[in-house]
Amino acid sequence: MNINAILFPTDFSESSSAALEYASSLASQTGAMLHIVHVADDTPAYLVGYGGYQYEADSPNQLKKKIEARLNEIEPSETGISVRRHYLTGSAVDELIDFAEKEEIDLIVMGTNGRTGWSRALLGSIAEGVLRRSNCPVLTIKESKAIDQDSKGKPTTNSSASDFERNLQGPRRMKLSLC
């Protein structure tokens, strides 16, 4: 499997940040172009209870400038990666699927907020929609939980040793073999 183009959709949330580390590592290992994309979906469901970036009541031009500035702040965790940043508007799932097809994306790496219950039923899941409709593989990354530590950096009784060890081995230390 050749990976020449990776799509990393971001909503500027913590789960997106975790996925960026995986996308960066994969792009570094494969030499793939990393496309960092944000889709501004201005439907009311996007604004109510959304876990990512909250939009203020700005003009469309002001909003676009703010989002483009946020996109430009996102840097891959690996150096030497070719990156393109894109600002899209519309339905997030539709725009991401269309973008992936037009740009011939080989892999989508995205965070998932892990919504359940009513929140998921009302807002839907962008990651789920992309998974269901994408013609290329999709790697979803769940936001890593913070580890409670004492003043010496050791896990407290609220954390398990295995959680602490997994945190130390985070995505920056991962090694993926792509055949």
pLDDT digits (tens, 9 = 90+) for 39-52: 987 655 444 444 55
- Say which residue the tokens 């339905």 belong to: 91
Task: Please tell me the distance from the alpha carbon of residue 133 to that of residue 121, in angstroms, as a whole number.
Answer: 18
Averaged over 108-136, what is the pLDDT?
77
Percentage of residues in the chain with pLDDT exceeding 70? 64
Averaged over 58-65, what is the pLDDT?
79
Per-residue model confidence (pLDDT) at position 23: 96
Q: Say which range, 24-28, 46-50, 55-59, has the weakest mean pLDDT.
A: 46-50
| Domain spans in the chain, listed from the N-terminal domain onward | 5-143, 148-179
Averaged over 50-75, what is the pLDDT?
76
The two tokens of residue 2 are 């050749």
Cα separation of the two ends of the chain: 6
Per-residue model confidence (pLDDT) at position 160: 39
The two tokens of residue 148 are 């409670």
**Amino acid residing at 92:** A
Task: Please tell me the distance from the alpha carbon of residue 111 to that of residue 76, in angstroms, as a whole number.
Answer: 15
Averaged over 123-136, what is the pLDDT?
86
User: How far lies 5's CA from each of 10, 88, 95, 99, in Å?
Assistant: 16, 18, 17, 12
Averaged over 130-135, what is the pLDDT?
94
Strands 107-112 and 83-89: unpaired
Averaged over 132-142, what is the pLDDT?
93
Q: Which CATH class is domain 5-143?
A: alpha beta
| pLDDT level of residue 179 (50, 70, 90 thresholds) | very low
Mean pLDDT score of the chain, rounded to an integer?
A: 76
The two tokens of residue 84 are 């393109």
Per-residue model confidence (pLDDT) at position 38: 95
Cβ(64)–Cβ(159) below 8 Å: no
Task: Please tell me the distance from the alpha carbon of residue 142 to that of residue 16, in angstroms, as a whole number.
Answer: 9
